[in-house]
Amino acid sequence: MKRLSIWLVAISLVLFFAAPSMAAKTIKIGGLFDITGGTGSVGTPYAEGVRDCVRSINDNGGINGVQIELLDVDYAYKIPQALAAYKKFKTQKVVAIQGWGTGDTEAMSPLIKKDKIPYFSASYSEHLTDPKVTPYNFMVGTTYADQARVALKFIKDTWTDKSRNPRVAFIYNDTGFGRSPFFTVKFQGYNFDGAEAYAKEIGVDLVAKPIIGLRALDATPQLLNMKKADPDFAICQETSVMATILKDAKKLKLRTKFFALNWAMSGKIMELAGEAAEGCYWTNPFCLWTDTAPGVEEAKAASEKYHPGKVQIVNYFQGFTAMKVMAEAIGNVKGEVTGPAIKAALENMTDFDTGGLTVPISFSAKSHKGSMGLNIYQVQSGKFVPVKKVLLSR
């Protein structure tokens, strides 16, 4: 009896001291965000969407009863700081990372591959979606190159002047992000064609390539130079500087119509551009605040809970969706949650219904392009009006 009592006391002590560590167990996710750098105007709401999704999941019991611990860093859109943050994430033993830009994702991709840490990029660069090259990189948004090809096809299909091809300009910033939609990218021994090759294929003439920085305060010199080529359309890979481009184009009375890829337009950018935004087209793979589908309402409820009265722009939904999809994959892991296990769960994800945040999301061992669809909107009377829904084939 005495031995039994000693044994019970010993077991009680083990359980007592083990309980805190068991309770403290979390699923650690890294968060690499740009809050104060060159893309901070869109990075801040994106980060807020990721954080709110985590908070909402945790408030509702976590993933299979385990809380998510989001370890996030503002790297100010600087590659050296991104690499330093990644090294810290590794020492903190994160099992996956919510990332951000094109340049830093490219720089980290060999490390991500080596360390087998699934990485969700907010860069939708096509060369980051091929598992042969970047086996642990995934993205939820429709790739930049696919968006640009959709814009070009729309321009070609709606062109009515049979005497000549439509003329387009590509407006971009001179970064990996800026160049990604348009030009052939050579990455880790592979070539990935951009929209420039597609324009030639379908008979759209590329006549100008203005470079406008992400923080430019005046786009007049570049637009005046573009005016000489007289493009019918300008497809733009920018962020908030798009408002400056549109306003300067209106001052110069350009006849060119503008086509914003996903980061180059939002409710905030439309507001900043004012009347100059009228008529601008936009390729957007995500929902808007005015949408009412179940997943959208879920994200809006989270925003209302944590930021009462705030109306979120599209970038918030991008971050929320990325975290929601990652959490779904983690929840489907059988056994220990590790990088390879999450990767396997993602590659078995087929037509995951985000509830209207995006088209259904699928990954496979052959493709890490999550989204194969988007909506084309046009600004009409200060509102985003849907023009066409586009579903792409893999």
Q: Residue 171, SS3?
A: strand
Note the pLDDT of residue 204: 98
Note the pLDDT of residue 206: 98
pLDDT value at 24 more than 50: no
List pLDDT tens digits, range 200-209.
999 999 999 9
Note the pLDDT of residue 192: 96
Pick the range with the lowest mean pLDDT from 1-10, 21-30, 116-125: 1-10
Strands 96-98 and 137-138, sheet pairing? unpaired
d(CA 79, CA 101): 9
List pLDDT tens digits, range 145-192.
999 999 999 999 999 999 999 999 999 999 999 999 999 999 999 999
- Once rounded to an integer, what is the mean pLDDT over residues 356-377? 98
Note the pLDDT of residue 247: 98
Structural tokens at position 152: 């070009």
Note the pLDDT of residue 4: 42
253 contacts 324 by C-beta, under 8 angstroms: no
Structural tokens at position 52: 């709110």
CB atoms within 10 A of CB 386: 11
d(CA 140, CA 198): 23
List pLDDT tens digits, range 183-203.
999 999 999 999 999 999 999
Mean pLDDT of the chain: 94
HSE-CB of 275 using CA atoms within 13 angstroms: 3
84 contacts 286 by C-beta, under 8 angstroms: no
- Once rounded to an integer, what is the mean pLDDT over residues 103-121? 97
Note the pLDDT of residue 394: 80
d(CA 277, CA 263): 15
Q: Which CATH number, 3.40.50.2020, 3.40.50.2300, 3.40.800.20, 3.40.190.10, labels domain 22-142+292-363? A: 3.40.50.2300
Note the pLDDT of residue 360: 98
Q: 144-284+376-391 has which fold?
A: Rossmann fold (3.40.50)
- Once rounded to an integer, what is the mean pLDDT over residues 325-337? 97
d(CA 243, CA 20): 52
pLDDT value at 327 more than 90: yes
- Once rounded to an integer, what is the mean pLDDT over residues 113-141? 97
Note the pLDDT of residue 17: 42
- Once rounded to an integer, what is the mean pLDDT over residues 327-334? 98
Q: Which residues in the chain belong to E strands, given as ranges?
A: 27-33, 68-74, 96-98, 119-120, 137-138, 167-172, 185-187, 190-192, 205-208, 233-237, 257-260, 281-284, 373-380, 383-391
List pLDDT tens digits, range 42-71.
999 999 999 999 999 999 999 999 999 999
- Once rounded to an integer, what is the mean pLDDT over residues 243-258? 98
Portion of the chain with pLDDT greater than 90, in percent: 93
Q: Residue 62, SS3?
A: coil
Domain with CATH 3.40.50.2300 in the chain: 22-142+292-363, 144-284+376-391
DSSP codes, 89-153: HHHTT-SEEE---HHHHHHHHHHHHHHT--EE-S---GGGS-TTT-TTEEB-SPPHHHHHHHHHH
